[in-house]
A = this chain, B = another copy of it.
Amino acid sequence: MAHCSIASRLITGFSWALSLTTATIVVATTQAFAQTAPGTRDLPARSVPVPDTVSPQMQKIIAAPLPATWNVIPDAADGWRAQVNESAAAVNQTLPALRAQLHVKVEPRAIDGVKTFEVAPEAIPTQNRNRLLIHVHGGCYVSFPGESGTSEAILMAGLGGFRVISVDYRMPPDAPYPAALDDAMTVWKAALKMSEPKNMAIFGTSAGGALTLSMVLRAKQDNLPLPGAIASGTPMSDLTGRGDSFVTNAMLDNVLVAYGANCDKRAALYTNGHDLKDPLLSPVYGDMHGFPPAILTTGTRDLLLSNTVRVHRKLREAGVEAVLQVFEGQSHAQYMRDVNAPETKDAFGEIARFLDKHLGK
């Protein structure tokens, strides 16, 4: 059913083997270190403890072992569907309690043929009555269909007091690029009839962080109005594998783990042979002049730390008001893992304040 692939970027200059089925790592080499290329840094093996500089809740998240499927690659569409269904089912179990705790209601709603969810707090604060956020979920362009894609939208609605439309965009194996982006743009065009663009933001994390950026690039191309602000969490901004933290945080990040593993294989189902340097797939290569104010979020152990800070620099070089928040010890997107972690409230609180500052009312 499934075969295992190793993340080839990691085996640079010396040999090691991953025993993937047990998710443990066995180093097969006894070689001494030698410089492999000018300037290459040869690092010894090491054990990295859980930092004591984060909350107990975050320590628990950071202490979690690598995901069992981080590098288990199905060889056919059915295998992918089984993985997707399993992770979606796990998330779905958590949603009723999350909605109840945050006093958030979620209703399915079709918008011009695209499936979405309306996600709203029971009481919307006065200053947010005329505001609307569009949410594009993460999951490496393949995971979290249906309701399972709404957890970040629930956090934003509950912690930020915003009305959110979460786009349940089409995904591979059935629908590769540009289906997801097309669906998101259909919703954006419909949203332009619901509210003023300056009163709206687009937000998302991981694949959703990249889609947030790609939606703005596409809106620029199509001469559509842009949102008043965006929030892009640890965006998959460069699918070509460039970015220093793909190497420096490899095996340290306990979410994505390594470049070329399961998440990137899912993204490859989406890109489906298209040029990975296309800015609509790797938005770090896009022209960011004229972008609305943006807030970016990442963590020090995030495999996409580099590709978040590279987007931040690109935005700033383009003269865009862009702020960056980096959380101690966190791997990819761990700021949305536990509603009870103070870091989650901190991250979403910052995003909500940023949106409140920049959106019209």
Contact = CB atoms under 8 A, between A and B. Distances in A.
A33 B26 contact: yes
Interface in A129-161: none
Interface stretch (A71-79, A103-111, A250-258): A250-258
B32 A44 contact: no
25 contacts: A12-B46, A13-B47, A24-B33, A37-B49, A39-B49, A39-B62, A39-B63, A40-B49, A41-B48, A42-B47, A43-B48, A43-B252, A45-B45, A46-B250, A51-B243, A53-B243, A53-B244, A245-B300, A248-B300, A312-B325, A313-B346, A316-B350, A323-B323, A324-B326, A326-B326
Contacts of A13: 47
Interface string A238-271: 0000111101111110100000000000000000
A327 B313 contact: yes
A64 to B, nearest CB: 7
Interface stretch (A85-93, A187-195, A302-310): A302-310
A266 to B, nearest CB: 23
A310 to B, nearest CB: 6
A344 to B, nearest CB: 13
Interface string A52-81: 110000010011100000000000000000
A204 interface: no
A1 interface: no
B244 A300 contact: yes
A50 B38 CA distance: 8
A160 B142 CA distance: 47
B43 A33 contact: no
A30 interface: yes
A244 B41 contact: no
Contacts of A245: 300
B53 A328 contact: no
Closest 9 A-B residue pairs measured CB to CB?
A: A39-B63, A51-B244, A39-B50, A244-B329, A13-B47, A309-B326, A41-B48, A45-B45, A12-B47
Interface string A199-213: 000000000000000
A170 interface: no
A341 interface: no
A312 B326 contact: yes
A2 interface: no
Given A41-B48, A49-B247, A248-B249, 4 more contacts: A25-B44, A40-B49, A313-B346, A317-B346
Contact of A48 (B27, B40, B300, B313): B40
Contacts of A40: 47-50
A161 to B, nearest CB: 19
Contacts of A24: 33
B53 A242 contact: yes
A27 B38 contact: no
A60 B59 CA distance: 37
Contacts of A243: 51, 53, 328
A112 to B, nearest CB: 39
Interface centre among A36, A40, A41 (most CB of B within 10 A): A41
A187 B67 CA distance: 55
A166 B312 CA distance: 31
A12 B45 CA distance: 10
A301 interface: yes
Nearest to A61: B39
Interface centre among A33, A63, A252, A309 (most CB of B within 10 A): A309
